[in-house]
Amino acid sequence: MNIRFPSPLRPGDRVAVTAFSSGVPKPLHDQLDRALDRLRGLGLEVVEGECLRGEEQDASAPAARRLAELKRFLFDPGIRAILPPWGGERAIELLAGLDFDALSGLEPKWLAGFSDVSTLAAPLTLRAGWATLHGPNLFDLGNPEREFGVAALLHSWRCGLPPEQASFSEFWRWDCPGERYHAQLRVLDAATARIRGRLIGGCLDTLSRLQGTPYFDLSAFKAQPAILYLENCEMNPCELLRALSGLRLAGVLDGLAGLVLGRSSGPDASGDNALSYAQALEFALAGLPYPVIIDADIGHLPPQWTLLNGAWAELEVVDGRARLRQAPQP
């Protein structure tokens, strides 16, 4: 399939900020404002949507209002990027109301974020041919602790492509501020791996709900070698096993060049005799005929890579360390 890449952002470009899933409650407006000021500091003109500074029933606004605002920004030729503050739970409600065929004929815009942002980003790549970014959310731009983690995101906007990235040496949890954990990737049933293909993926919690729908159909995408990446936000090991097994039964995991799983922020085994996270992966993914890389810098445990859906990627893992390169073409 034909993938089209947004042009780099330049000073004076207009970027829309709208929460098509969860909104930002008032106690967090200061951090949102810091993120918006960061955009303005890059010379960008911020267009703030009405579906942003509020939260009710786990969304910024009713679905019809969120959809109308998102469509307005998607089809406005003066808007160069759509930057939700973060993810949430309810982006799935908007998919049926979007005309992806019409969007496929428009100049692509930047869409960036992770978590529930994946619910829109992956379909935009698969159905409209827009390259979309999976990486730090806009909200991270207002958090000084995330500064080094957003460098690749800013580079992508400025240059049109993420830079070469290496795996990070440590990570931390949002619920354990100040604590740092050693970070190391591994390859399932192997010591090293090298995979090449076009990137597609996002949050497993949301994308697994789209299997069997037109919004997560990888059949055309797999005409070229494809690398699927997924990350778990909240699922416990048994639910993780079900989600991955469901993708495998549906054929989503067939015909890939490789599978990359981010670090899990979900709960691990609930007891000594319960299924563990590592066991869930082994049971669900055993026997796949391509490399499976585990605990990559993707997802809800920062820091994280910036991945461009639709980009041609080369990922190498040796001795628990990784290097990722992305380009428009092989």
Q: Where are the alpha helices (DSSP H) in 165-312?
A: 204-207, 237-249, 277-285
**Partners of 295 in the β-ladder:** none
Backbone angles phi, psi at 134, to 5 degrees: -110, 115
Q: Is the pLDDT of residue 155 over 90?
A: yes
**How far is it, in rounded angstroms, from Cα 206 to Cα 149?**
23
Q: Is the pLDDT of residue 2 over 80?
A: yes
Per-residue pLDDT band for 1 (boundaries 50, 70, 90) equals confident
Cβ atoms of residues 160 and 9 within 8 Å: no
Q: Is the pLDDT of residue 174 over 80?
A: no
Residue in 222, 330, 237 with CA at minimum distance from that of residue 283: 237
The residue among 177 and 117 whose pLDDT is bigger is 117
For 17, residues 6+ apart whose C-beta sits below 8 A from its C-beta are 36, 39, 46, 47, 48, 49, 52, 83, 84, 85, 138
Cβ atoms of residues 253 and 230 within 8 Å: no
Q: Is the pLDDT of residue 168 over 80?
A: yes
Residue in 303, 251, 306, 277 with CA at minimum distance from that of residue 188: 277
Q: What is the pLDDT of residue 180?
A: 87
**How far is it, in rounded angstroms, from Cα 30 to Cα 36?**
10
Q: Is the pLDDT of residue 177 over 90?
A: no
3-state class of 293 per DSSP?
strand
Q: What is the pLDDT of residue 217?
A: 98
Cβ atoms of residues 284 and 248 within 8 Å: yes
What share of residues in the chain are helix, strand, coil (percent, to 5)?
Answer: 35, 25, 45
Residue in 149, 181, 184 with CA at minimum distance from that of residue 167: 184
Per-residue pLDDT band for 149 (boundaries 50, 70, 90) equals confident
**How far is it, in rounded angstroms, from Cα 241 to Cα 231?**
13
* DSSP run (H or E) holding 158: helix 151-159
Strand pairing category for 170-171 and 181-182 = antiparallel
**How far is it, in rounded angstroms, from Cα 325 to Cα 312?**
8
Q: Which amino acid is at 107?
A: E
* DSSP run (H or E) holding 101: helix 100-103
**How far is it, in rounded angstroms, from Cα 144 to Cα 133?**
21
Q: Is the pLDDT of residue 172 over 90?
A: no
pLDDT digits (tens, 9 = 90+) for 65-106: 999 999 999 999 999 999 999 999 999 999 999 999 999 999
The residue among 171 and 298 whose pLDDT is bigger is 298
In this structure, what token pair is assigned to residue 288? 């796949």
Verify cis geometry, omega within 30 degrees of 0, for the bond prior to 267.
no
Q: Is the pLDDT of residue 148 over 80?
A: no
**How far is it, in rounded angstroms, from Cα 285 to Cα 289?**
10
Distance between alpha carbon 214 and the CA centroid of its chain, in Å?
19
Q: Is the pLDDT of residue 10 over 80?
A: yes
**How far is it, in rounded angstroms, from Cα 135 to Cα 123?**
16
- Number of other residues whose CB lies within 10 A of the CB of residue 175: 7
pLDDT digits (tens, 9 = 90+) for 181-225: 888 999 999 999 999 999 999 999 999 999 999 999 999 999 999
Q: What is the pLDDT of residue 142?
A: 86
Q: What is the pTM of this model?
A: 0.96
**How far is it, in rounded angstroms, from Cα 103 to Cα 101?**
5
Mean pLDDT of 133-145: 90
Q: Is the pLDDT of residue 12 over 90?
A: yes
Per-residue pLDDT band for 175 (boundaries 50, 70, 90) equals confident
